[in-house]
Structure 1
Amino acid sequence: MAETNNFHNDDVVLDIHDRPTLGHWIGLSVQHMFAMFGSTVLVPILVGLNPGIALFSSGVGTLIYILITRGKIPAYMGSSFSFIVPMVALMKTTGYPGIAQGTVAVGLVYLLVALLVSFIGSDWINKLLPPIVVGPIVMVIGLSLAGTAATDATMRTLASGTTTYDWRYFMVALVTLLVTIGFNMFLKGFISLIPILLGIIVGYLLAVVVGIVDFSGVMAAAWFSLPKFQIPFLTYHLHFYWGAVLSLAPIAFVTMTEHTGHIMVLNKLTKRNFFEDPGLNHTLAGDGMASVIAGFVGGPPVTSYGENIGVLAITKVHSVYVLAGAGVFAIIFSFIGKLSALIQSIPSPVIGGISFLLFGTIAANGLRVLIDEKVDFNRKKNLMVASSILVIGIGNAYLQISQYKFSGLAVATVLGIFLNLVLPEKAVSEKEFEQKH
């Protein structure tokens, strides 16, 4: 696999098309997979999906992405956090089928946008999703789950189905939070890229000590078993859920902005221009097809991972062969039954402690978008757009028409885009003020 322009980045250990020796290949690929492992399996844990399916769809999605982008972009596809809010709601109402259909719809939106980009370019994406829309939506994604994190961190479910406050839960959650922050702040090198995974391990061990871990599922699980795939017509009767589709599909436009941001960073890191070669249409198509495949096997939507960029920057290993190897190992790990059972045995306070940091970080990133882009909140339009998105999204003011239900996040996304397009840049009072002064 040769470079079309013969360019080779000599400042890195392995450039994009450099193939490592077999021993190095295995070690580097396993290392890369574990950098993604904590975040990739955390999404299905939070939603209630099978971690094995998430690992499988993550690995297959990565291989598909590399194939569609012609082996030119070193990227890894992992479970997306942006869809957690509506997926949690759908799990309670439609279960796997609704989430699967929504995930496929997300992928189809990506493919449609990729088709449009190939014909008319990508400038319209920035007009449709400027910072004043994207920033508050990202904040909603994090803040709307704050109550879930707090419940996981404090409340124990009794055999009767009722819940009660348990101080051990809160202690485990706080320790998990604090050690994860510590790992994130003070560790160096590659290990600094897996603070979530390390935090979960420490929290889990503490939970074992205080006696709140149930190992019965782990003991009963087989070492090797098929992930519990959820395939239409084979494992469940197909019933179309419009509400599920319309709850997840609009959020695809938000993750597209993250996707393009990741490509920009990769351009600088690898000294290339992936917007030109293989083109944004190919990168979006790769991401979209990965989500379509994930939906057909019962996994959550997948997207390019920021952790991936951190690993590339620190290790200076940019080889797509290493990324493909990470995808293969993710697939292999998905067939280890005891691993999936061990992941599912992680008690809620450990997840709650991680969620305190994770959801807060997501919200803070939304705020950072507004700050970095210097959004002026003296402008009434910006104030109106952000205010509407925040309250509707965080409050989950969902829209229900007959049996179709659209999450507050989906409503806030569509409303934010609409308001930004129709409201004038300046209100009448602002124009009058400027004319007088």
Structure 2
Amino acid sequence: MEEKRSNGAIYDLYDRPPFPILVGLSFQHLFSMFGATVLVPLLVGLNPGVAIFSSGIGTLLHMLITHGKIPAYMGSSFAFIIPMTSLMKSFGYPAVAQGVFSVGVVYLIVALIVSKIGSDWINKIFPPVVVGPIVMMIGLSLANSAATNATINSLTNKYDLKIFFVAFLTLIATICYNMYFKKFLGMIPVLLGIITGYIFATIFGLVDFQAVAAAHWFALPNFNSLFASKKFYPSAVIEMAPLALVTISEHLGHVMVLNKITGRNFFKNPGLNKTLAGDGTASIAASLVGGPAVTSYGENIGVMQMSKVYSVWVIGGAAVLAVVLSFVGKLSALIQTVPGAVIGGVGFMLYGVIAAAGLQIIVDNKIDYSKKRNLMIAAPILVIGIGNFNLQIPLAHSTLEFTGVALATIIGIILNLVLPKIAASEK
């Protein structure tokens, strides 16, 4: 039985919307994650259709392992782009697959440790003074990505006024749909914003339909097995497995955001061990079919915050749609024609909504920034994360990189544990 309903939820965690509404809400999540999920394999040299399939299967496996108790969507992880690209060029996909598999194994090992020692330590290392700035930073760290998509032509790598106008009109449309529409239309402002932006993009000549015309209605994704080669690539494991510890910190941040917007404690129920195991199993599944490593997506969290729809049925519906669309060549090709200008315009809203959730944590817990300790914790978290002050360690064939988000999270945890409650000058 559900203990309580989330404040303001239109469809809460276990509510199942009527089928037509469910499909519309699920498509909204599908469009929101699509751009980033497809971009990773395009950069690495993997098959986008397999990545879409992996995201859907990974999400369904995550839901199975967490007993359908947490609305988290799994998409391609950006944290592994550098080592995956290097491994792909040096050895081909079998090496990438072994690296992705090792990432999943690390998650499972950490999940096993958490299941033994519990998750009470979460409250000690993640009090509100740390959680609020981290959640804000997660949203704001994506701001540059949205701004780039909304101004730069990816073909020429130059500023394009047409892209600016499409992104701006997409943003305005999304805001208006969110503020003025009611009932079902009021629940899908992001999807409506994307459709409106797509229409404007077509008018401005930013959409190329050639790939849609050339695509077949049925197209089997180019699956690539982990076992395509019997050779073992130790460098793949060395270069990718440690990065799992970085993405685990991002995983904690996403769960904290979900805790905030849904009013639950997912660290307790279904348990951090299960959410970690779900992430790990999703990456292992991706390695078996030729996909990249996956992780939970902030874009979909932003959609939930805006729409006030937290239903796991909607997330599951998006996962099923992703699997189905990975086999429908023309539909997959059509979705891939959504330009970055549209994704950027919607991103301005989605990423800001995540940041606002962090601000709400600070306000709700009355964090006093006249106290030096609180200020010394929040300041570096925000600037390091938003500025992407990252740590890069050269390895044999690539670079081990701790992103600004991960580094800021780690530094925030350490500062909270070592700084005195009261600064010497305040005594």
With structure 1 as the length reference, what TM-score do the two structures score? 0.75
For 1:197, the aligned partner's letter is: L
Given candidates 4, 29, 33, the residue that maps to 2:26 is: 33
Q: Which residue of 1 aligns with 2:8?
A: none
Given candidates 344, 349, 352, the residue that maps to 2:341 is: 349
Q: Which residue of 2 aligns with 1:167?
A: 161
Q: Provide Cα deviations, 1:250-284, integer angstroms capped at 9, x if missing partner.
A: 2423433543664687787xxxx987776554444
Q: Which residue of 1 aligns with 2:36?
A: 43
Matches within 5 A, 1:176-191: 176-191=170-185
2:422 counterpart SS class: coil
Q: Which residue of 2 aligns with 1:78?
A: 73
For 1:58, the aligned partner's letter is: S
Alignment gaps of 5+ in structure 1: 1-6, 433-437
Cα distance change of structure 1 residues 353 and 47 upon mapping to structure 2, 3 Å threshold: farther
Q: Is the 8 A contact 1:35 1:193 kept in 2?
A: no
The separation in 2 between residues aligned to 1:131 and 1:229, in whole angstroms, is 44
Cα distance change of structure 1 residues 295 and 211 upon mapping to structure 2, 3 Å threshold: same
For 1:423, the aligned partner's letter is: L
The separation in 2 between residues aligned to 1:173 and 1:8, in whole angstroms, is 40
For 1:120, the aligned partner's letter is: I
The separation in 2 between residues aligned to 1:169 and 1:334, in whole angstroms, is 28
Q: Which residue of 1 aligns with 2:217?
A: 223
1:179 counterpart SS class: helix
2:177 counterpart SS class: helix
Cα distance change of structure 1 residues 377 and 109 upon mapping to structure 2, 3 Å threshold: farther
Matches within 5 A, 1:4-403: 27=20, 30-45=23-38, 47=40, 49=42, 52-69=49-66, 71=67, 73=68, 75-79=70-74, 84=78, 86=79, 107-108=104-105, 110-157=107-154, 162-229=156-223, 231-232=225-226, 234=228, 239-240=235-236, 242=238, 244-247=240-243, 249-259=245-255, 262=258, 281-294=273-286, 296=288, 297-299=290-292, 301-303=294-296, 306=301, 327-403=319-395
The separation in 2 between residues aligned to 1:30 and 1:289, in whole angstroms, is 26
1:401 counterpart SS class: strand
Q: Is the 8 A contact 2:302 2:350 kept in 1?
A: no
1:350 counterpart SS class: helix
For 2:407, the aligned partner's letter is: V
Cα distance change of structure 1 residues 395 and 331 upon mapping to structure 2, 3 Å threshold: same
The separation in 2 between residues aligned to 1:15 and 1:181, in whole angstroms, is 23
2:236 counterpart SS class: coil
Cα distance change of structure 1 residues 126 and 342 upon mapping to structure 2, 3 Å threshold: same
Q: Which stretch has the larger CA shift, 136-145 or 383-392?
A: 136-145
Q: Which residue of 2 aligns with 1:4?
A: none
Q: Which protein shows a greater Rg?
A: 1
Give the percent of matched residue pairs that are identical in Structure 1 and Structure 2: 45
The separation in 2 between residues aligned to 1:312 and 1:198, in whole angstroms, is 12
The separation in 2 between residues aligned to 1:277 and 1:169, in whole angstroms, is 43
Cα distance change of structure 1 residues 197 and 144 upon mapping to structure 2, 3 Å threshold: same
The separation in 2 between residues aligned to 1:191 and 1:302, in whole angstroms, is 29
2:150 counterpart SS class: helix
For 1:36, the aligned partner's letter is: H
The separation in 1 between residues aligned to 2:124 and 2:181, in whole angstroms, is 40
Q: Provide Cα deviations, 1:57-82, integer angstroms capped at 9, x if missing partner.
A: 3332343234334x5x355541469x
Q: State the Cα distance separating 1:174 from its structure 2 match.
A: 0.7
Q: Is the 8 A contact 2:24 2:188 kept in 1?
A: no
Cα distance change of structure 1 residues 115 and 360 upon mapping to structure 2, 3 Å threshold: same
Q: Provide Cα deviations, 1:298-323, integer angstroms capped at 9, x if missing partner.
A: 245243864797899769x88x6x87
Q: State the Cα distance separating 1:349 from its structure 2 match.
A: 1.6
The separation in 2 between residues aligned to 1:155 and 1:223, in whole angstroms, is 32
Given candidates 393, 413, 417, the residue that maps to 2:413 is: 417
2:420 counterpart SS class: coil
Cα distance change of structure 1 residues 111 and 426 upon mapping to structure 2, 3 Å threshold: farther
Q: State the Cα distance separating 1:417 from its structure 2 match.
A: 1.7
With structure 2 as the length reference, what TM-score do the two structures score? 0.76
Q: Which stretch has the larger CA shift, 171-180 or 227-236?
A: 227-236
Q: State the Cα distance separating 1:359 from its structure 2 match.
A: 2.6
Q: Is the 8 A contact 2:246 2:406 kept in 1?
A: yes
Alignment gaps of 5+ in structure 2: 6-10
Cα distance change of structure 1 residues 423 and 310 upon mapping to structure 2, 3 Å threshold: closer
For the aligned residue pairs, the C-alpha RMSD in angstroms reads 4.3
The separation in 2 between residues aligned to 1:414 and 1:174, in whole angstroms, is 35
Given candidates 390, 401, 426, the residue that maps to 2:422 is: 426
1:400 counterpart SS class: strand
Cα distance change of structure 1 residues 151 and 185 upon mapping to structure 2, 3 Å threshold: same
1:374 counterpart SS class: coil
Q: Is the 8 A contact 2:37 2:75 kept in 1?
A: no
The separation in 1 between residues aligned to 2:253 and 2:83, in whole angstroms, is 24
For 1:153, the aligned partner's letter is: A
Q: Which residue of 1 aligns with 2:400?
A: 405
